[in-house]
Structure 1
Amino acid sequence: MYCVRKVTEDVFWVGANDHGLHLFENIHPIPLGVSYNAYVLLDKATVLFDTVDWSCCRQFLENVEHVLQGRPLDYMVINHMEPDHCASMEEIILRYPKVKIISTEKSFMLMRQFGFSIDKQELIEVKEGDTTCFGKHTVTYVEAPMVHWPEAMVTLDLTDGVLYSADAFGSFIALDGKLFADEVNFDRDWIDEARRYYTNIVGKYGPHVQLLLGKAAKVLDKIKYICPLHGPVWRKDFAYLLDKYQHWSTYEPETKGVLIAYASMYGNTEAAAQNLAARLCEKGITEVRLCDVSNTHVSELIAETFKYSHLVLASVTYNLGIYPVMLDFLEHMKGLHVQKRTIAIIENGSWAVKSGDLMQDFIDKNLKDMTVLNERLTLASTMHADKAQELEQLAAALADTIAPSS
């Protein structure tokens, strides 16, 4: 049974929702599912923009067939050929053997590399600034390399202002009937998963996103709809969405507040982290999030690090090194180019307290534009009463850099 929604008078969403996949890219948990978005334009010619993951192919094919109503499919535009968007293209070719494929040179190269059978089709290679007329609708193509693969492009319908934005402006969470961002409370129910999607999937490529945002700014007055490959379609509140992307792609924090990420074996480091959180709240700093790195997925830790201005790393020493899950968190921060944060350190150990120096060394060597506070808290097994003053000094230093006293 088909499941489609109308985007504009001539454009239909023909994608699918996936609640069966537990790990996106086999690494990121998606407890609320994910959508794979594809769109059909009905004009003098018929056009399919992207496909869906293989797991949702049956639903997708039923949707396309329903929208076409017996018409042939003339064109298939592939903005991003990553398999969660391109895997079903061979099924489209089987059913619509005369379909012409529009994409970039690198995209066609990667299709062949993945073994897709495309060379019997008419292939139309496009570059930035090229246009195609499908009848009353004319589209232009904008290259978007490394957002987040090298072959990516976005397509702008100059007639109706529909931007097919590939993986830009996407989000985790299945749509489940609600196609448009204004049909949900996005800032309450979606923003955390949108941030987690961006920071973990695209976060490393901030300069490339900035380049794309610069291109989009020149035609912003022409954009009426933003149609990403995951998550809801935007038809209003563009300023809200672009502000988030501006923060994330420049690594500027959204919120003045503190993420306290702690690694605790027997609860003593956690107790110090809880004590610090309480002291911060007493000082009026209530934007505080505590995360146990042992049971918080690193994708959430990364997303929260992008959100908050300050980060406290509290770790025990383990085999004279950084506790493994804390080290993994640091490696992800390095890999995703996290920067421009103020960091405080809490270290613990029973016979050799090394974690603080090691974390400081990692930050100095691998992370850009980080400010590490001098007020380090050093514990020996547990926090005894004589450490209360040091903890207070750490809380005061954090609070003063968040909301300086007059």
Structure 2
Amino acid sequence: MHQYRGVTNDIFWVGGSDRRLTLFEHIHPLHHGVSYNSYLLLDEKTVLFDTADWAVGRQFIENVTAVLNGRSLDCLVLDHVEPDHAAALEEVLLRWPEVTLITTAKAVQFLNQFGFQISPDRVDTVKEGDERTFGRHTVVFLTAPMVHWPEVMVSYDKTDRVLFSADAFGTFRALDGKLFADEFDFERDFLEEARRYYANIVGKFGPQVQALLKKAAGLDIQYICPLHGPVWRRDIPWFLDKYAHWSAYEPEEKGLVVVYASMYGNTEQAAELLCAKLAHRGVTNTRLYDVSTTHVSTLIAEIFQYSHLVLAAVTYNLGLFPPVHALLEDMKALNVQKRTCAILENGSWAIRSGALAKEKLAELKDMTLLEPTVTVTSALSQSSGADLDALADALAASLQA
């Protein structure tokens, strides 16, 4: 049974939500599913913007068929050819064999690599600033390379002032029968998943996102239609501001993420005591996470949100505890920068975790190391407790500045 929604009088959402997938890209946990969005324009010509993942393929085809209501499909705009958006392409070509593909040259290369056999005479290759008119609607195509693949473009409908934004402005989480961001309590239900999506999927490519934001600033955008998550028709500047912070690697707010690695509970106790000492000093915007039980995608998203980070790391086999090492590698891969960091180390002999953590942090851009480094030898003692007080003082001063 079809289930589509109108975005404007002429544009319809024809995607679907997947609640069975547990790992996005087989890496990132999905706690509430994900949507795969596609949009269909009805004009003198009919135009489909992207397809969908096979997981929602039946729903997608039913939706497109219902909206077309017997009309042919004239054009298919492929803004992004990653398989979660282009997987149903072959089904579209089989059902509507006269359709013309509108996409970038790089996208055609990738489609060939994925095994799609598409005749060149069925492809209309576009580049930056090209326009196509489909009747009442004129669409301009803007390249957005590395947001987050090199072939990506976005499409702007000048008539209804709709930005089809590909993977930009997307978010994890299924749509639950709704469509627009203002139909949810977005800050409660979606913001955390939007941040986690951005930080882990697009986060590495901040400069490229900044370039897209500059292009968007020159457009009169009344709707943002991403390939994942809800459609925006209200409060668009608020969400653009989130992207401005994330893509510039600026924290959204002053606050502290404490990530600890603890084998027998002693480092955990030290990390929790540090948070207690901060609360006593009036600093309560803190988050405490066990690196061994918290997925790294959540940790990365929290680090994107807050200004300060404490790594409480036990020494393991004369090195960094492996999940801490993995977190630091992810931070580097996703271009985390401009944070204030402090170190709490622990070990029973040859304590090296602090020095090794500092070496990894030194590989990141514009990171400020806050002293003192706290050293716990096996378990908390009076001397390490005094060092925790000194670090709590330094963190409170920095956070309250």
Superposed pair shares fold, TM > 0.5: yes
* Cα deviation, residue 361, structure 1: 1.1
Amino acid at match of 1:305: I
What is residue 365 of structure 2 aligned with on the other side?
A: 368
What is residue 102 of structure 1 aligned with on the other side?
A: 102
Render the CA deviation track for 1:208-251: whole Å, top value 9, x for unaligned: 000000111111xx211000000000001011101100100000
* Cα deviation, residue 121, structure 1: 5.5
Render the CA deviation track for 1:28-65: whole Å, top value 9, x for unaligned: 00010000000000000000000000111111000000
Q: Could you say if the C-alpha distance between residues 250 and 120 of structure 1 is closer, same or farther in structure 2, counting changes exceeding 3 Å?
A: closer
Alignment of 1:243-254 (within 5 A): 243-254=241-252
Question: How many angstroms apart in 1 are the aligned matches of 2:117 and 2:136?
Answer: 31
Alignment of 1:195-344 (within 5 A): 195-219=195-219, 222-344=220-342
Question: How many angstroms apart in 1 are the aligned matches of 2:295 and 2:178?
Answer: 27
Question: How many angstroms apart in 2 are the aligned matches of 1:223 and 1:354?
Answer: 52
Q: Could you say if the C-alpha distance between residues 235 and 208 of structure 1 is closer, same or farther in structure 2, counting changes exceeding 3 Å?
A: same
Question: How many angstroms apart in 2 are the aligned matches of 1:74 and 1:22?
Answer: 35
What is residue 31 of structure 2 aligned with on the other side?
A: 31
* Cα deviation, residue 120, structure 1: 6.5
Which ranges of 4 or more aligned residues in structure 1 deviate by more than 4 Å? Answer: none
Unaligned runs of 5+ in 1: none
Question: How many angstroms apart in 2 are the aligned matches of 1:11 and 1:282?
Answer: 55
Q: Kindly indicate whether the alpha-carbon contact (under 8 Å) linking 1:171 and 1:195 is maintained by their aligned counterparts in 2.
A: yes
What is residue 113 of structure 1 aligned with on the other side?
A: 113
Unaligned runs of 5+ in 2: none
What is residue 12 of structure 2 aligned with on the other side?
A: 12
Residue 139 of structure 1 pairs with residue 145 of structure 2:
no
What is residue 190 of structure 2 aligned with on the other side?
A: 190
What is residue 59 of structure 2 aligned with on the other side?
A: 59
Q: Could you say if the C-alpha distance between residues 120 and 210 of structure 1 is closer, same or farther in structure 2, counting changes exceeding 3 Å?
A: closer
Render the CA deviation track for 1:348-395: whole Å, top value 9, x for unaligned: 00011110011111111x111001112110011111123221100000
Q: TM-score scaled by structure 2? A: 0.99
Residue 381 of structure 1 pairs with residue 378 of structure 2:
yes
Question: How many angstroms apart in 2 are the aligned matches of 1:353 and 1:308?
Answer: 28
Amino acid at match of 1:185: D
Q: TM-score scaled by structure 1? A: 0.98
Alignment of 1:352-367 (within 5 A): 352-364=350-362, 366-367=363-364
Render the CA deviation track for 1:66-121: whole Å, top value 9, x for unaligned: 00000000000000000000000100000000000000000001000100121266
What is residue 393 of structure 2 aligned with on the other side?
A: 396
Render the CA deviation track for 1:321-364: whole Å, top value 9, x for unaligned: 00000000000000001000000000000011110011111111
Question: How many angstroms apart in 2 are the aligned matches of 1:103 and 1:332?
Answer: 32
Amino acid at match of 2:266: N
3-state SS, counterpart of residue 234 of structure 2: coil
* Cα deviation, residue 178, structure 1: 1.1
Deviates more, 1:278-287 or 1:33-42: 278-287
Q: Identity across aligned pairs (percent)?
A: 59
3-state SS, counterpart of residue 190 of structure 2: helix
Amino acid at match of 1:403: Q
Amino acid at match of 2:385: A
Give aligned pairs, total. 401
Amino acid at match of 2:157: D
What is residue 163 of structure 1 aligned with on the other side?
A: 163
Render the CA deviation track for 1:122-154: whole Å, top value 9, x for unaligned: 100001111000000000000000000000000
Amino acid at match of 1:282: H
What is residue 148 of structure 2 aligned with on the other side?
A: 148
Q: Kindly indicate whether the alpha-carbon contact (under 8 Å) linking 1:127 and 1:141 is maintained by their aligned counterparts in 2.
A: yes
Render the CA deviation track for 1:146-182: whole Å, top value 9, x for unaligned: 0000000000000000110000000000001110000
What is residue 350 of structure 1 aligned with on the other side?
A: 348
Question: How many angstroms apart in 1 are the aligned matches of 2:128 and 2:355?
Answer: 49
Question: How many angstroms apart in 2 are the aligned matches of 1:117 and 1:36?
Answer: 23
Q: Kindly indicate whether the alpha-carbon contact (under 8 Å) linking 1:260 and 1:273 is maintained by their aligned counterparts in 2.
A: yes
